[in-house]
Structure 1
Amino acid sequence: MKINTVVVDDEPLARQRVIKLLENVEEITLIEECSTGKKAIQVINEFAPTLVFLDIKLKDMTGFKVLEKISPNIKPVVVFITAYDEFAIKAFDYFALDYLQKPFREDRFMKSVNKAIEVIKEKHYPFFDNKIRNILDYMNAQGEKKDFIKKIPVKIGNKILFIEVKDIIYIIASGYYAEIFTENKKYLLRDSLNNLITQLNSNHFLRIHRSTIINLNYISELINSNYGEIDVKMKDNKLFRISKSYKKDFTNVMGL
């Protein structure tokens, strides 16, 4: 029995490690690997794999969104892969769904593979699919409740000021600090862009470079430069180049 399998992870090394480990599993046939949620949806809908190894945090969407957007007639067995995410892990444990937490050992990986193969061989698809539906409903309900920060506290001398998030035009990394720009002032905050982006509403804020987050509401225009590059001009006339690693996310969000 050959089990058609797809591996989805936006980290090349992590993706290749999974693929390498699967080479030792006789029942597995790798049919495709995907680095984005968009490609994963296309591949899963086209090939209807029996088994999917799915990273939860992809650059363009979550693994949960991938499962929501595939055809309802396609119901693969899924092994979830995640970097440490306390919220997601508690959900997996609650709904008794198997997951691999990065970095995982080979023996832990094989345990997950064997569980998946057992589900497939014993034809427990309806039971497994119910678990998937339940966790998707749960994650969606929690997502609706999530409150993004509306103000950012910044310490200035012996005072703490609160910046209205809606007034932020862009944020630039500066060493161990983040420079937060509003229309009238610049503020210095000891925090990382990696942390800030998780607290900001993704409907309004987008990372376009490892050192830059912008507020989409303050974009004035886009400029197509040479060699397919894109510059973003903000309403205060500040110009930012979108880096290659974030370009696809930006064009997807902007519908370009």
Structure 2
Amino acid sequence: MTPLKTIIVDDEPLALQVLSACLAEFPDIEVVAQCRNGREAIEATLRLQPDLMFLDIHMPGKNGFEVIKALQNDVMPMVVFVTTYQQYALDAFDLHAVDYIPKPLDEERLARAVGRALERFQSTQARGELKQPLIGAIDDLLQRLSDNADSAPSVNSAHSLSDAKLVVRDAGSARVIAQHTIDWVDAAGDYMCIHAEGETHIMRSTVKELVAALDERLFRRIHRSTIVNVERIASVQSLSKGDYLVLLECGEQLKVSRSYNEPIKQLLKKL
């Protein structure tokens, strides 16, 4: 069959690069555009009329839900949401036969999403019938988020960064840490060191698991084993060969791994 014309949408340059590289492994997928915000996604959809869209939900400006609602039925592609929402909310997508991939990207889940898209494309369902199930899934999801406000933020709410918490369990006790107080995090074997307000808290976790638990608006990876609170960055120094050194308000200096240089460049444009 002819490869599905696909566009990918994410405001994180590194996320776009990773997703594009992964999709290149599927011969039935042809990435025809990469978009960094909702406006670009709408323009690319109207211009290219793709068959499939991988769409990040949380983006500045128009979020993923608003992109869907802005598109007309006659240009509506199949959609795979890329999201950090918890499982109870994501069930809404399955109920409406809309696929999703949790962040961080999982290759097995990506393969499943591609397989579902190919099956759906080959089915007799008209493309123009896709929008109403999507709208229903969105409305259902937002209702669930509203009903469970204590455990998950809504993309359309005035959710404060200071509300996000991280629970660190150790030897039968649990310490609740406000995420906005965390300066940085680094890995030590099978454990993560959480540096907050002059203290270091140790929790058993992988970097991947911790990234999923932290507020994506507040934290960025600068190394495969280091995460920083972007609001704690005092300055960024350019080193030789295109490397960077991040200086935090607490005085800590952290080197940026070269593979994470581009996200830091993009972050500096927003600061």
Return the TM-score normalized by structure 2.
0.66
- Residue identity opposite 2:5 in structure 1: T
1:91 pairs with 2:92: yes
Could you tell me which residue of structure 1 aligns to residue 204 of structure 2?
A: 190
Give me the CA root mean square deviation: 4.0
* Change in CA separation of 1:164 and 1:55 when aligned onto 2, cut-off 3 Å: same
* Change in CA separation of 1:5 and 1:149 when aligned onto 2, cut-off 3 Å: same
Could you tell me which residue of structure 1 aligns to residue 185 of structure 2?
A: 171
The structural deviation recorded for 1:241 is 2.5
CA distance in 1, matches of 2:256, 2:176: 29
CA distance in 1, matches of 2:89, 2:55: 9
CA distance in 2, matches of 1:106, 1:4: 10
* Change in CA separation of 1:140 and 1:207 when aligned onto 2, cut-off 3 Å: farther
Pairs aligned (count): 236
- Residue identity opposite 1:17 in structure 2: E
CA distance in 1, matches of 2:99, 2:205: 34
Which segment drifts farther, 198-207 or 6-15?
6-15
* Change in CA separation of 1:104 and 1:129 when aligned onto 2, cut-off 3 Å: closer
CA distance in 2, matches of 1:105, 1:93: 12
Query: What's the % identity of the aligned pairs?
Result: 17
* Change in CA separation of 1:78 and 1:186 when aligned onto 2, cut-off 3 Å: same
1:152 pairs with 2:191: no
Which segment drifts farther, 73-82 or 229-238?
73-82
- Residue identity opposite 1:90 in structure 2: D
The structural deviation recorded for 1:235 is 1.5
CA distance in 2, matches of 1:244, 1:93: 38
- Residue identity opposite 1:201 in structure 2: D
The structural deviation recorded for 1:92 is 2.0
Aligned equivalent of 2:119, options 111, 118, 123: 111
Asked whether the 8 Å contact 2:42–2:71 carries over to 1, the reply is no
Q: Is the partner of 2:122 in helix, strand or coil? A: helix
The structural deviation recorded for 1:172 is 0.2
Which segment drifts farther, 187-196 or 64-73?
64-73
Could you tell me which residue of structure 1 aligns to residue 52 of structure 2?
A: 53
Asked whether the 8 Å contact 1:205–1:215 carries over to 2, the reply is yes
Q: Is the partner of 1:169 in helix, strand or coil? A: strand
Could you tell me which residue of structure 1 aligns to residue 78 of structure 2?
A: 78
Q: In the TM superposition, what whole-angstrom CA distance separates every residue of 1:115-171 from its partner, at most 9, and x where no partner exists? A: 3x7414xxxx2x422333333344455567315742422426x75544443332110
The structural deviation recorded for 1:177 is 0.6
Return the TM-score normalized by structure 1.
0.70
Q: Is the partner of 1:153 in helix, strand or coil? A: strand
Q: 5+ unaligned residues in a row in structure 2: which ranges?
A: 9-15, 102-108, 154-162
- Give the structure with higher Rg (CA): 1
CA distance in 1, matches of 2:126, 2:248: 52
Where in structure 2 are the equivalents of 1:14-29 lying within 5 Å? 14-18=22-26, 20-22=27-29
Identify which of structures 1 and 2 has the higher relative contact order when contacts are C-alpha pairs closer than 8 Å and 6+ apart. Answer: 2
Could you tell me which residue of structure 2 aligns to residue 102 of structure 1?
A: 110
The structural deviation recorded for 1:52 is 3.9
- Residue identity opposite 1:38 in structure 2: R
